[in-house]
Amino acid sequence: MTFEQDDKPKLGKPLANIKVIEFAGLAPGPLAGQLLADYGAQVVRIDAPNKPSIDRLCKDKRSIALNLKDKEQWAVARDLIRNADVVIDPYRPGVLEKLGLGPSVFLNAHKGLNKRLIFARLTGYGQKTDKSHWAGHDLGYLAESGILDTIGPAGQAPVFPANILGDFASLSLPAFAAISLALYEREMKEKRGSAVPGRELDVNIVQAVQYLGLFVSHGRYPDGEGGIALFENERGTNTLDGGSPYYQMYETADKGEYLAVAPIEEQFYAQFVEMVGLDLDKLPNRFDTDNWAELKKTFSDAIKQKGVQHWREQCDKYPNSSCAVMNKLAKPEDVKDQIVTWTSKSSDKYQNVGFKGKVLEANNDAEDVIKGFLGKGYWQKVKAKL
């Protein structure tokens, strides 16, 4: 694969002509870069020399290794960014400024080297907060956001879903969205003749998690007429956070194998009760929380009588029961597209993003990257120094 400019983006690849520089970092930056690559962007990861990368979120990317403290290699990084559309900065605030590669170098209204650049900065606490200088990881950011106060059983420590909620759902995905919107905004700015159509983006986990948690927040602190208090009780005792018998995980006869039960609506609940072999008329009122403990035991006893295969078959037989057997985490090679190709009304065929890829070796694509971004002549000048 070489980075040669096409006149038109490929169908289904709307970012085909977008060039992205991704500084190697931990999980959020790599997934944001992979999402951009999935939609056609030409993503180059800048790695540190002689430092193996643990990143496996690198499908369709290229790598160049540069020592940013070496003057000549630093100049290559600067020139790559000068010719890029997007930079993904995974470092703590101030790191790239100290290296002379901060946003002001490129986006300054008078002397900026690339005023079209979208400079996306991905952090836990944000660029300009009282904790911006703090070190941290996913768990600490979730604690700071307050979202952990909503997850876990009553009377016990909060639980957390690996690093999926913070790093990925609240940083990679918002970064991808922010970058995509900023690219669109850049087009609008250029049509209006803006002097600096690019921009710096501050995407951080704490604020993004709080935004994602607005539904729960409104449910705990309802205000105004018609407000619904879905989460007003102690964590783990509400309908949607583990308190309800009809929104619950139940172990089957096979140890460690679970059935997810979520028939909130009346018609789904009736299907579920029939599926597990119970009589709806003989069950206590499910909306009375005083009956929840009894119902949990009743459902648990019924579900534990059969193994997981039986419940798979029952879920197929009762598709409106709103139940599902818990699967094991998929292997990367087993993750598939929900839509592979589709045809528009004009009969154009579109190809969806894919998941095939390989481990990205640091500096594996230096020549390809330099020639694609900066030209063959530039490569001839710097190849002996890389």
Residues 46 and 158 in one domain: yes
Of 363 and 183, the structure prediction assigns the larger pLDDT to 183
Task: Give the mean pLDDT of 298-308.
Answer: 98
Residues 44 and 154 in one domain: yes
First to last CA, the chain: 21
Read off the pLDDT of residues 43-63 as tens digits, 9 standing for 90 and up: 999 999 987 666 778 888 999
Q: Alpha-carbon distance 87 to 101, whole Å?
A: 10
User: How confident is residue 339, by pLDDT bands cut at 50, 70 and 90?
Assistant: very low
> Residue 321 in contact with residue 272, Cβ under 8 Å?
yes
- Residue 128: inside a domain, yes or no? yes
* Cα-based distances in Å from 73 to 68, 370, 382: 6, 12, 8
- Residue 288: inside a domain, yes or no? yes
Burial class (CB in 10 A: 0-12, 13-18, 19+), 304: middle
Nearest CA among 13, 61, 41 for reference residue 368 = 61
Task: Give the mean pLDDT of 186-205.
Answer: 93
* Total number of domains in the chain: 2
Q: Which two tokens stand for residue 7?
A: 């006149």
Annotated active-site residue in 85, 138, 167, 365? 167
Single out the residue in 279, 303, 325 at which a domain terminates: 325
- Residue 25: inside a domain, yes or no? yes
The rounded mean pLDDT for the chain is 88
Task: Give the mean pLDDT of 186-210.
Answer: 93
Residues 313 and 245 in one domain: yes
- Residue 300: inside a domain, yes or no? yes
Residues 79 and 188 in one domain: yes
Tokens 């979120």 sit on residue: 57
Q: Alpha-carbon distance 286 to 9, whole Å?
A: 54
Domain that residue 300 falls in: 236-325
Provide Rg for the chain, Cα atoms: 26
- Residue 339: inside a domain, yes or no? no
Single out the residue in 325, 346, 375 at which a domain terminates: 325
User: Amino acid identity of 363?
Assistant: N
Residues 49 and 117 in one domain: yes
Residues 125 and 185 in one domain: yes
User: How confident is residue 373, by pLDDT bands cut at 50, 70 and 90?
Assistant: very high
Read off the pLDDT of residues 234-246 as tens digits, 9 standing for 90 and up: 999 999 999 999 9
For residue 269, what pLDDT is reported? 97
Residues 54 and 187 in one domain: yes
Annotated active-site residue in 137, 149, 254, 368? 137
Residues 178 and 313 in one domain: no
By percentage, how much of the chain surpasses pLDDT 70? 87
The 8-class DSSP code of residue 284 comes to P
- Residue 96: inside a domain, yes or no? yes
Q: How far is CA 252 from the centre of its chain?
A: 32
Single out the residue in 309, 325, 341 at which a domain terminates: 325
Tokens 């020592």 sit on residue: 67
Beta-carbon count within 10 A of 227 CB:
11
Residues 266 and 367 in one domain: no
Tokens 């049509």 sit on residue: 191
Task: Give the mean pLDDT of 151-172.
Answer: 90
> Residue 93 in contact with residue 132, Cβ under 8 Å?
yes
The CATH number linked to 274 is 3.30.1540.10
Residues 185 and 52 in one domain: yes
The CATH number linked to 89 is 3.40.50.10540
**Side-chain half-sphere of 360: how many Cα atoms within 13 Å?**
27
Nearest CA among 97, 310, 86 for reference residue 176 = 86
Q: For residue 137, indicate whether it is catalytic.
A: yes
Helices (H), 213-291: 214-220, 266-275
Asked if the model's pLDDT at residue 92 lies above 60, the reply is: yes
Asked if the model's pLDDT at residue 26 lies above 90, the reply is: no
For residue 340, what pLDDT is reported? 44
For residue 201, what pLDDT is reported? 97
Residues 256 and 138 in one domain: no
For residue 330, what pLDDT is reported? 77
- Residue 286: inside a domain, yes or no? yes
- Residue 7: inside a domain, yes or no? no
Read off the pLDDT of residues 146-155 as tens digits, 9 standing for 90 and up: 999 999 999 9
Residues 169 and 119 in one domain: yes
User: How confident is residue 231, by pLDDT bands cut at 50, 70 and 90?
Assistant: confident
Tokens 């951009």 sit on residue: 36
